Amino acid sequence: MSFTASNKGGNSKTGEAIVKSNRRLRVLILSKDLSAPGGVVHFVSFLMEHLPANIEAEHLPIGRRTEGGTAIDNVVFPLVNSVSLVRKLAKNRFDCVHLNPSFNISSLLRDGLFLLVLRILRFRNVVVYFHGWSDDDARRIQRSPILLFVFKALFGRACKTLVLAARFKKSLVDMGVPSGRVQVTSTMFDGRTFRGLSAKGHNSTKELIFMSRFVREKGVYELLDGFVGVARKYPEAHLTLLGDGPERAGMEQRVAELELEGRVSFAGYLRGSEKAQLLLDADLFVFPTYYGEGCPVVLLEAMAAGLPVVTHAAGGIPDLFTDGEHGILLDSVTPELIQQAVEKLLADERLQSEIGERNRKYAWERFEAGTVTREMEQAYRHAAERC
């Protein structure tokens, strides 16, 4: 190795650390079933596919495969999953366990149980990656001495905690999690989905894309209401909604009420190249979320496709998105502000082109799966070798 040759007589411990850092690791990753929709599942799938050969990752599915469930289900499934975790650890030697909660009470209770099991088993080499974030639940924990004690006793002991925004890190540190154990990172998109594809040529249609799970907090109804004015001003404008979820029927009803049939299409839940091609063929990505976002994969995918973006300063979005540079960052989510932002971008094709090219370069340099996976590998090695 060139390092060894250039450091004759140097600190042998440094050389030993480098050799050690290249050793093979076995990592157990917990998340929902990989066939389920959602940004966390996408992240885990991309991660497992891009990890280097010296990281052997195994997946343990947790939770339900379908929406809904009773209160009893919410108790039973974590218990069943905990038994599965114990069996995995009893049968196999893992160097690191990777949990993927969101920062909300239900997810914290579930993954807190897993952390309790790991603590009982005296397994310390744990990476916790918070994908979503609820400010309300963070404040609730901070105000309750009991909840704060339990949180620190379980989550505060993780070797490495990854978050998607600087303000999330500050919140954890304020709760007593050691600052040195918390790292701000990003999620990723899989660049392979764009392989061999190309954007459309000139087209008179103004194609807008929304892509996410259909829940009210993603701004779906405000988007539809705002699109009425856009459709009136731009007869060639069309909105495609990618995804599915509990608000699907309500959204279809709103489209009918607003007389937008033919101007709004539901494309369903798409994966891979089919989804990538729709993004490449679009003109604008509109994502007016006020949900407890972390770093939305859909936003990164849209930017990677070279789309200007209209979005809102929810969760960790302000950490990766600059107003005016990557598109328009809404101060609040209202139909009027969405309409104004969309029309501003549609009215200036040169601005669309400049922002789109900037977004493409930015996303591929910082958020492509190969780049982010290297950061995850370092987190695993830190947990496996330094805890």
Q: For the chain (length 387 residues), average pLDDT per consecutive 10?
A: 31 39 91 87 92 96 63 70 96 96 94 96 96 93 96 96 95 95 93 89 84 96 98 96 96 97 95 93 96 88 97 92 97 97 96 97 95 94 90
pLDDT computed for residue 309 by the predictor: 98
The answer to whether residues 311 and 376 belong to one domain is: no
**Cα-Cα-Cα-Cα dihedral sign, residues 67, 68, 69, 73:** positive
46, part of any domain: yes
1, part of any domain: no
CA 267/CA 332 separation, integer angstroms: 27
The answer to whether residues 170 and 290 belong to one domain is: no
The answer to whether residues 196 and 137 belong to one domain is: no
4, part of any domain: no
**Cα-Cα-Cα-Cα dihedral sign, residues 313, 315, 316, 317:** negative
211, part of any domain: yes
6, part of any domain: no
The answer to whether residues 203 and 302 belong to one domain is: yes
pLDDT computed for residue 162 by the predictor: 97
Number of domains composing the chain: 2
Chain CA centroid to CA 76, Å: 27
The neighbouring-strand residues paired with 61 are 31
pLDDT computed for residue 3 by the predictor: 25
pLDDT computed for residue 77 by the predictor: 82
The answer to whether residues 134 and 116 belong to one domain is: yes
The answer to whether residues 198 and 156 belong to one domain is: no
The answer to whether residues 183 and 306 belong to one domain is: no
Please indicate, yes or no, whether the overall pTM of this predicted structure exceeds 0.85.
Answer: no
pLDDT computed for residue 20 by the predictor: 52
Q: What is the DSSP letter of 315?
A: T
139, part of any domain: yes
The answer to whether residues 340 and 375 belong to one domain is: no
Measured at the CA of 47, the angle between CA 41 and CA 50, to 5 degrees, comes to 140
The answer to whether residues 166 and 80 belong to one domain is: yes
3, part of any domain: no
Boundaries of domain holding 45: 13-188+369-386
Supply 32's token pair.
């929902």
Supply 351's token pair.
């601005």
Q: At how many degrees (to 10) do helices 297-304 and 349-366 cross?
A: 120
Q: Which residues contact 332 (CB under 8 A, 6 or more apart)?
A: 312
Length of the chain: 387
Supply 58's token pair.
């195994």
5, part of any domain: no
Sheet holding 160-163, edge to edge: 55-61, 25-31, 96-99, 126-129, 160-163, 182-184
pLDDT computed for residue 13 by the predictor: 38
The answer to whether residues 317 and 356 belong to one domain is: yes
pLDDT computed for residue 387 by the predictor: 80
Report the CATH number at residue 79: 3.40.50.2000
The answer to whether residues 213 and 340 belong to one domain is: yes
The answer to whether residues 239 and 151 belong to one domain is: no
pLDDT computed for residue 74 by the predictor: 55
